[in-house]
Amino acid sequence: MPAPTNFRGRLLRLAATDNVAVATVNFAAGDVAPIDDGQIAIIDAVSMGHKVAVAAIADQDKIIKYGCPIGSAVRPIRVGEHVHTHNIKSDYLPTNARE
């Protein structure tokens, strides 16, 4: 598959069962990033090192990274959406958020 014309980087899925991948570069909304044998349209701006949903995640579904649950969704998350403290909560530690 040829690289998308607006290719700026790659998403790194750390385990085959992960429903999130790590941005290896900064992505702007609308960028298209290759992953595995396909590509994902990035919905939100995502900073390098942050997570992007690579599968649809329902409210209360576990967020899987490194093949392990790291938290739960607090609302539905679309493929290509930035995954961070605004839409997940830790199942292990308090999540600090500004009210």
Q: Give the other-Cβ count within 10 Å of 58's Cβ.
A: 9
Q: The whole model's pTM is what?
A: 0.83
CATH number attached to the domain at 11-89: 2.30.130.110
Domain residue limits, the chain: 11-89
The pair phi, psi for residue 35, each rounded to 5°, is: -150, 135
For the chain, give the longest Cα–Cα distance: 45
pLDDT of 48-97, one tens digit each? 999 999 999 999 999 999 999 999 999 999 999 999 989 999 888 766 65
